[in-house]
C-alpha cells in the first residue's frame, strides 16, 4: 500500500469529511471544524515522536484513533512493553498517543491494510458521534 492508496480509500469513505495536508503529513477529519483528526498519515519524525524512525526513505506511518474496547481487544489491558515502534507492516499502539487509544502501522501491506480498514471506519464513526454530541 502507498500513502496515496490509503488516502484514496479514506477519502472514498469520508462522506462529508475531508482531509488536509500540512508539512507532508495528511490529517483526516469527519467534520469541517478541523479540531481533531480521526486518522493521520505522518512522514517525518518529530522531537516528541521519533520512535518510528520515519526518516528512512519511503517510510510513513498510518495512525488511527480507535475506541477503548477495540484498543484493549487488540493489545490487552496492560500497557504494552517491548514494542519495536520502527517495525514495518505491524499493527501496534501509537508510540505517543496509545493512552488516547491510537493505533499505528508503518508501511502496511495490502493484507495488513485489510485488517486496518474496520479500524479506520470505527475511528470515523467515533468522530461523527463526537460531532453529534456537540
Q: Which residues of the chain have pLDDT under 70?
A: 16, 34, 133-134
pLDDT of residue 131: 72
CATH number of the structural domain 3-132: 3.90.1150
The answer to whether 72 and 110 are in contact (CB under 8 A) is no
Strands lying side by side in the sheet with 25-29: 18-22, 25-29, 39-42, 61-65, 102-106, 92-93
> pTM (2 decimals)?
0.94
pLDDT of residue 133: 66
Q: Which residue has 519524525 as its cell numbers?
A: 45
Count of alpha carbons within 13 angstroms of residue 42, beta-carbon side: 21
Handedness of CA 49, 53, 57, 60 (dihedral sign): negative
Strand positions, DSSP E, 1-134: 18-22, 25-29, 39-42, 61-65, 92-93, 102-106
- Domain residue spans in the chain? 3-132
Give the model confidence (pLDDT) of 17-51 as tens digits: 789 999 999 999 987 776 789 999 999 998 889 99
Amino acid at each position: 500500500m502507498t500513502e496515496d492508496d490509503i488516502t484514496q480509500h479514506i477519502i472514498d469513505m469520508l462522506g462529508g469529511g475531508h482531509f488536509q495536508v500540512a508539512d507532508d503529513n495528511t490529517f483526516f477529519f469527519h467534520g469541517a471544524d478541523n479540531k481533531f483528526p480521526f486518522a493521520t498519515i505522518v512522514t517525518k519524525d518529530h522531537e516528541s515522536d521519533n520512535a518510528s524512525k520515519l526518516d528512512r526513505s519511503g517510510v510513513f506511518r498510518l495512525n488511527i484513533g480507535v475506541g477503548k474496547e477495540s484498543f484493549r481487544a487488540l493489545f490487552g489491558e496492560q500497557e504494552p512493553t517491548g514494542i519495536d515502534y520502527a517495525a514495518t507492516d505491524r499493527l501496534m499502539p501509537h508510540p505517543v498517543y496509545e493512552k488516547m487509544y491510537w493505533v499505528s502501522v508503518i508501511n502496511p501491506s495490502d493484507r495488513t491494510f485489510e485488517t486496518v480498514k474496520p479500524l479506520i471506519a470505527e475511528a470515523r464513526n467515533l468522530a461523527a458521534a463526537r460531532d453529534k454530541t456537540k
